[in-house]
Amino acid sequence: MLSQQTIDTVKATVPVLEVKGTEITTRFYSMLFEAHPELLNIFNHANQKQGRQQTALANTVYAAAVHIDQLEAIIPAVKKIAHKHRSLGVLPEHYPIVGEYLLKAIKDVLGDAATDDILTAWGEAYGVIADAFISIEKDMYDDAASVEGGWEGFKNFTIAKKEEESSLITSFYLKPADGEKLPEFMPGQYVTVRTKIPGDEYMLNRQYSLSTSYTPDYYRISVKKEAEQDPNGRVSTFLHDELNEGDTLELSVPAGDFFCNIHDEHPLTLISGGVGITPMYSMLKSIADKNPDRPVTFIHAARNQDVRAFGNDVQETVARLSNGKSYIVYEQEGLDGDFTGFINADVLKQAANLDGEFFVCGPVPFMEAVIQSLTAIGIPAEKINFEFFGPAIAIKTE
Ligand code: HEM
User: What residue owns the CA closest to ligand 1's atom 34?
Assistant: 43
User: What residue owns the CA closest to ligand 1's atom 40?
Assistant: 57
pLDDT score of 392: 44
pLDDT tens digits along 127-138: 999 999 999 999
Give yes or no for residue 61 CB within 6 A of ligand 1: yes
**Which residue from 42, 50, 57 has its CB within 8 A of the most atoms of ligand 1, so it is best to mutate?**
57
- Which residues fall within 8 angstroms of residue 134, CB to CB, at 6 or more apart? 92, 95
- Candidates 29, 62, 101, 137; catalytic one: 137
Nearest-angstrom CA–CA distance, 77 and 68: 14
pLDDT score of 230: 76
Give yes or no for residue 133 CB within 6 A of ligand 1: yes
pLDDT score of 173: 98
**Which residue from 32, 49, 81 has its CB within 8 A of the most atoms of ligand 1, so it is best to mutate?**
81
| pLDDT of the chain, 398 residues: tens digit per residue | 789 999 899 888 888 888 888 888 889 999 999 999 999 999 877 655 555 555 677 667 777 888 888 888 888 888 999 999 999 999 999 999 999 999 999 999 999 989 999 999 999 999 999 999 999 999 999 999 999 999 999 999 999 999 999 999 999 999 999 999 999 999 999 999 999 999 999 999 999 999 999 999 999 999 999 877 777 788 999 999 999 999 999 999 999 999 999 999 999 999 999 999 999 999 999 999 999 999 999 999 999 999 999 999 999 999 999 999 999 999 999 999 999 999 999 999 999 999 999 999 999 899 999 999 999 999 999 999 998 654 444 444 44
Q: Phi, psi at residue 331, to the nearest 5°? A: -70, -40
DSSP 3-state of 351: helix
pLDDT score of 55: 63
Q: What is the DSSP string of 215-273?
A: BTTBEEEEEE---TTSTTHHHHHHHHHT--TT-EEEEPPPB-S----TT--S-EEEEEE
Atom of ligand 1 nearest to the CA of 97: 26
pLDDT score of 50: 55
pLDDT score of 53: 55
pLDDT score of 199: 94
Give yes or no for residue 329 CB within 6 A of ligand 1: no
- Domains in the chain, CATH or no CATH each: 4-146 (1.10.490.10), 155-251 (2.40.30.10), 268-387 (3.40.50.80)
- Which residues fall within 8 angstroms of residue 233, CB to CB, at 6 or more apart? 225, 226, 227
pLDDT score of 302: 97
Contact (CB, 8 A) for 385 and 360:
yes
pLDDT score of 396: 45
Give yes or no for residue 221 CB within 6 A of ligand 1: no
- Candidates 95, 208, 281, 327; catalytic one: 95
Active site residue 95: yes
Active site residue 29: no
pLDDT score of 190: 96
pLDDT score of 232: 74
Atom of ligand 1 nearest to the CA of 42: 33
Nearest-angstrom CA–CA distance, 176 and 369: 39
Quickly count: other Cβ atoms within 10 Å of residue 210's Cβ. Answer: 26
Give yes or no for residue 13 CB within 6 A of ligand 1: no
Give yes or no for residue 128 CB within 6 A of ligand 1: no
